[in-house]
């Protein structure tokens, strides 16, 4: 009996010190904070991903006002929320060496696709990023442009079929197919209308579910609360069917190209160059300048490392770009004056290039860039950014507060983009915020759609090109209108990582008669 009581007491003490004591972490450090309790921490909805995380984090952002930063708890982990742009600048740029990690949930070392750029840390991240940076130069994207043209032609054909039936267009489905065609062709060398492309569509639906499955929520909770478990259990956050499909696709495509000496202007061809030569073939000043930094670093692009980069190219570029395009068409349908102004620019610029949407024509459409910039302000693809303190640090004006190594840091992008202090009347769709006259007045580090600093989104140019082509190619031929099923305001679901609309966005597309 005595031994039983002793064991129960010991377990209670260990539980208190190992779990419950964490909930007084910020109080002990005298940091402004929101309280947390077992098991969910500060907000149940954040830990369980029950609602759109942009709104969840905004609630914390508002409650921590007017402090420049403050503490909270996700499950049993103390986390730091940043509110002030100057503090954000310190973390993302000025003192980057103290905050080099993205702070994602740590994956098992046995996770085959875990070696992608988004999750790599420290020296390996730096080496891979330096090698990959030249793949996204404007010169190389220009060589890929024919792929975008082919995908746009296919999209137009699909639109005509829908319009002939007299049906409203589920715009997300249409731009999803366009984005899928460009991504799979650039990353995996697939042609539209193939069986493999259809398989990719099924695969994408498994990756970007409209909800977070309970099994995945449990894995995330265990990985956060008990990170030591990854040594004994494989936390596989990617569906195994998806994993096997993508790895085999890359492996087989690389083998076929190498055996048949096939060259193609796409991302996979550049990956094969890195695998075989350790560097890219120089073709422009821009590319060679980027590669000079990479040549000082040696890294072997193994088949698994190559497959992981193709996976993140697909995962990061697919849902993000298709979502931005669909939100853009929604806002253009609801704001006809903006749509008319944009269409006028598209017509005028294309006229200079024989009526065609060329790479150069898209680069000259300044109002199109303003529209896209405003779309990703109002609907940021990533509602928050994550970093992790990798080296103990104290902010300049708060030397008494020590941010310990391992502390996870959140930057609430959605909140910054919707703070009237930085963007007056934030719910209004106003592309002129980003005009040449106005964009210089935007407070630095309050607009973060692609992140900032050394870990900004490396595929930004590719994603922007996709979005420009998708929007311009449709507006060039169609007028976009709302219909009776178009919501007056978009609502979002709690998928955790990206901003995902709940339900379809149905619009009417009328062929232009002018």
Report CA torsion sign: 481, 483, 485, 489. positive
- How many Cα neighbours within 13 Å face the side chain of 401? 19
Instruction: With beta carbons less than 8 A apart as the criterion, state whether 465 and 137 touch.
Output: no
Tokens 């077992």 belong to which residue? 38
Return d(Cα 275, Cα 426) in angstroms, integer: 46
Which two tokens mark 481? Answer: 């209108």
DSSP E strand boundaries for 393-472: 408-411
**Phi, psi of 41, deg, nearest 5:** 95, -140
Which neighbouring-strand residues pair with 409? 80, 387
Return d(Cα 463, Cα 187) in angstroms, integer: 13
Q: What is the dihedral of CA 147, 153, 156, 157, to 10 degrees?
A: -120
Tokens 């190209």 belong to which residue? 257
Total H helices, total E strands in the chain: 19, 9
How would you label 295-305 residue by residue, b for 16+ Cβ within 10 Å and e otherwise? eeeebebeeeb
Q: What is the dihedral of CA 138, 140, 144, 148, to 10 degrees?
A: -20
Return d(Cα 418, Cα 124) in angstroms, integer: 35
Among 327, 268, 230, residue whose Cα is nearest residue 144: 268
To the question of whether residue 457 is assigned a binding role by annotation, the answer is yes
Rg of the chain on CA atoms, in Å: 24
Quickly list DSSP for 141-173. Answer: HHHHHHHHHHHHHHHHHHHHHHHHTTPPEEHHH
Q: In what order do the strands lie in the sheet with 77-82?
A: 69-74, 77-82, 408-411, 385-388
Cβ contacts of 184 within 8 Å, gap of 6 or more: 190, 196, 197, 200, 314
Q: Which residues are annotated as a binding site?
A: 457
Give the residue ranges of the annotated binding site for heme: 457
């Amino acid at each position: 009996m005595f031994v039983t009581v002793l064991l129960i007491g010991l377990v209670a003490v260990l539980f208190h010190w190992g779990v419950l004591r964490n909930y007084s972490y910020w109080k002990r450090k005298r940091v402004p904070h929101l309280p947390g309790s077992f098991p969910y921490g500060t907000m149940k909805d954040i830990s369980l991903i029950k609602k759109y995380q942009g709104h969840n984090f905004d609630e914390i952002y508002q409650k921590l006002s007017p402090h420049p930063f403050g503490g909270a708890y996700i499950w049993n982990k103390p986390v730091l929320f940043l509110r002030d742009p100057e503090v954000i600048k310190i973390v993302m740029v000025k003192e980057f060496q103290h905050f080099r990690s993205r702070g994602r949930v740590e994956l098992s070392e046995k996770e085959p696709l875990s070696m992608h750029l988004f999750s790599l840390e420290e020296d390996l991240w730096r080496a891979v990023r330096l090698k990959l940076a030249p793949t996204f130069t404007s010169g190389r994207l220009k060589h890929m442009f024919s792929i975008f043209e082919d995908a746009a032609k296919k999209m137009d054909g699909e639109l005509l079929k829908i319009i002939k039936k007299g049906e409203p267009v589920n715009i997300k489905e249409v731009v999803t197919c366009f984005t899928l065609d460009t991504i799979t062709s650039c990353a995996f060398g697939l042609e539209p209308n193939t069986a493999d492309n259809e398989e990719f569509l099924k695969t994408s639906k498994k990756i970007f579910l409209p909800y977070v499955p309970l099994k995945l929520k449990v894995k995330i909770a265990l990985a956060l609360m008990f990170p030591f478990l990854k040594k004994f259990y494989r936390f596989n956050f990617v569906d195994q069917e998806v994993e096997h499909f993508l790895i085999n696709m890359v492996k087989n495509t690389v083998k076929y190209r190498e055996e048949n000496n096939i060259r193609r202007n796409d991302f996979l061809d550049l990956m094969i160059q890195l695998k075989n030569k350790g560097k890219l073939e120089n073709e422009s000043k821009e590319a060679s300048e980027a590669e000079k930094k990479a040549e000082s670093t040696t890294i072997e692009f193994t088949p698994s490392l190559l497959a992981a980069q193709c996976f993140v190219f697909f995962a990061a570029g697919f849902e993000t770009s298709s979502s931005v395009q669909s939100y853009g068409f929604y806002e253009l349908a609801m704001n006809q004056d903006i749509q008319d102004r944009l269409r006028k620019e598209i017509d005028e610029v294309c006229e200079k290039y024989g009526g065609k949407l060329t790479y150069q024509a898209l680069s000259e459409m300044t109002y199109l860039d303003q529209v896209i910039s405003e779309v990703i302000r109002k609907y940021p693809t990533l509602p928050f950014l994550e970093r992790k303190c990798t080296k103990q640090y104290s902010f300049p004006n708060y030397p008494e507060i020590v941010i310990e190594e391992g502390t996870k840091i959140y930057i609430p992008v959605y909140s910054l983009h919707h703070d009237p202090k930085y963007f007056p009347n934030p719910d209004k769709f106003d592309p002129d915020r980003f005009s040449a006259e106005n964009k210089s007045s935007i407070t630095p580090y309050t607009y973060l759609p692609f992140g900032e600093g050394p870990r900004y989104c490396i595929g930004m140019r590719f994603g922007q090109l996709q979005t420009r082509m998708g929007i311009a190619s449709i507006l060039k031929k169609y007028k976009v209108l709302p219909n009776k099923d178009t919501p007056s305001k978009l609502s979002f679901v709690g998928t955790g990582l990206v901003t995902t609309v709940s339900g379809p966005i149905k619009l009417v597309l009328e062929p232009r008669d002018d």
